[in-house]
């Protein structure tokens, strides 16, 4: 009894193995455009085959031999293909004997390549014509940035020009109207009498410096630079030192008179007026 059961098991295993060996290989004779398919263990008579050379961009179907084996006097092939156009195709027509061997009559291996689109010509939707905006965002930003930069530059230039003109008008105001001598005299008289306030002393210094800045064309430099230039100037430096000594010298008989102190300025103004009159 036990021997019969063992024999039955071995028979079942053998039959199962036979069915396993005889399982059908992949035989995909139908596919859609662009989807690869395979046909395996395809036996073809005659010499060993290879794929014909074709232009992949123009051919309707692309065939590739994945692997080939000897099968007695024939050859067995695993083929892969994919269609680039819908239709029915014979894969054998895309094969040829290798090494120039003599071709033999081969059975047709037809495949069908379908399409997922409905029949008929499918055209894309027509593009809608739209008017483009005149200025893109980046270009608009550049334009506005350039305008802002130009306006800022004009503001800066305008401020510099107005500041320069204001300085020039201030310097001209010092020497126009009442002369420098006429404006210096009351200040010097107060200084002589000891009644010169800090503000009046500042006015005195401003008059002197303004006079020389205009005369020596120093309007474009700062006050500190102008004073340095005045002290190094031969004529202006001597008169400035002379005025400083007079201001700080006690009111004694040795103190120079105001008329004597202002005389060089009167002479300078007189020469300037004569020069202007001669030019006109």
Q: What is the mean pLDDT of residues 219-245?
A: 81
Q: How far is CA 224 from the centre of its chain?
A: 45
pLDDT tens digits for 68-92?
A: 999 999 999 999 999 999 999 999 9
Averaged pLDDT for residues 203-225: 80
Length of the chain: 280
Between 198 and 255, the more confident residue is 198
Name the token pair of 37.
């398919």
Give pLDDT, residue 40: 93
Q: How confident is the model at residue 13 (pLDDT cuts 50, 70, 90)?
A: very low
The strand order across the sheet containing 37-44 reads 37-44, 74-83, 61-71
The long-range contacts involving 258-261, CB below 8 angstroms and separated by at least 24 positions, are: 258/185, 258/188, 258/189, 258/192, 261/188
pLDDT higher at 92 or 27: 92
Burial 261-277 (b: 16+ CB within 10 A, else e): bbeebeebbeeeeeeee
pLDDT at 17 over 50: no
Contact 231/213 with Cβ under 8 angstroms? no
Say if residue 5's pLDDT is above 60.
no
**3-state SS assignment for residue 74:** strand
**pTM for the full model?**
0.36
Quote the pLDDT of residue 69. Answer: 93
What pLDDT does 228 receive? 84
d(CA 113, CA 84): 8
Percent of the chain scoring above 70 in pLDDT:
70
| 4 pLDDT above the threshold of 90 | no
pLDDT of residue 19: 42
The per-residue pLDDT for 21 is 42
- E strands, 35-86, where? 37-44, 49-51, 61-71, 74-83
Give the per-residue pLDDT at 244: 78
Q: What is the pLDDT at residue 259?
A: 75
- Measured distance CA(188)–CA(246) in Å, rounded: 9
Q: Which long-range contacts (CB under 8 A, 24 or more apart) does 242-249 make?
A: 243/208, 246/188, 247/191
Looking from the CA of 178 toward its CB, the CA atoms found within 13 Å total: 8
In this model, does residue 38 exceed pLDDT 90? yes
pLDDT, tens digit (0-9, with 9 covering 90-100), for 89-144: 999 999 999 988 888 899 999 999 998 766 655 555 566 666 655 555 677 788 88
Are 63 and 21 a contacting pair, CB within 8 Å? no
């Amino acid at each position: 009894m036990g021997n019969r059961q063992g024999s039955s098991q071995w028979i079942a295993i053998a039959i199962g193995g036979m069915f396993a060996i005889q399982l059908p290989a992949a035989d995909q004779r139908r596919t859609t455009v662009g989807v690869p398919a395979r046909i395996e263990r395809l036996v073809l008579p005659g010499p060993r085959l290879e794929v014909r050379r074709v232009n992949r961009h123009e051919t309707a179907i692309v065939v590739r031999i994945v692997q080939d084996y000897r099968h007695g006097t024939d050859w067995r092939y695993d083929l892969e293909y994919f269609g680039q156009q819908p239709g029915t195709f014979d894969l054998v027509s895309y094969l040829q004997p290798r090494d120039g061997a003599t071709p033999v009559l081969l059975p047709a291996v037809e495949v069908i390549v379908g399409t997922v689109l409905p029949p008929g010509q499918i055209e894309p939707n027509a593009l809608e014509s739209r008017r483009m905006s005149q200025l893109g965002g980046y270009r608009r930003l550049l334009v506005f940035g350039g305008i802002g930069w130009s306006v800022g530059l004009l503001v800066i230039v305008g401020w510099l020009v107005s500041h320069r003109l204001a300085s020039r008008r201030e310097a001209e105001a010092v020497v126009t109207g009442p002369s420098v001598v006429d404006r210096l005299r009351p200040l010097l008289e107060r200084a002589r009498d000891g009644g010169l306030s800090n503000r009046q002393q500042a006015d005195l210094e401003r008059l002197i410096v303004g006079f020389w800045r205009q005369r020596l064309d120093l309007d474009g430099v700062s006050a500190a630079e102008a004073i340095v230039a005045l002290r190094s100037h031969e004529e202006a430096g001597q008169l400035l030192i002379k005025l400083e000594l007079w201001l700080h010298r006690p009111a004694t008989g040795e103190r120079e008179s105001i008329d004597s102190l202002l005389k060089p300025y009167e002479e300078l103004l007189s020469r300037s007026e004569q020069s202007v009159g001669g030019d006109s």
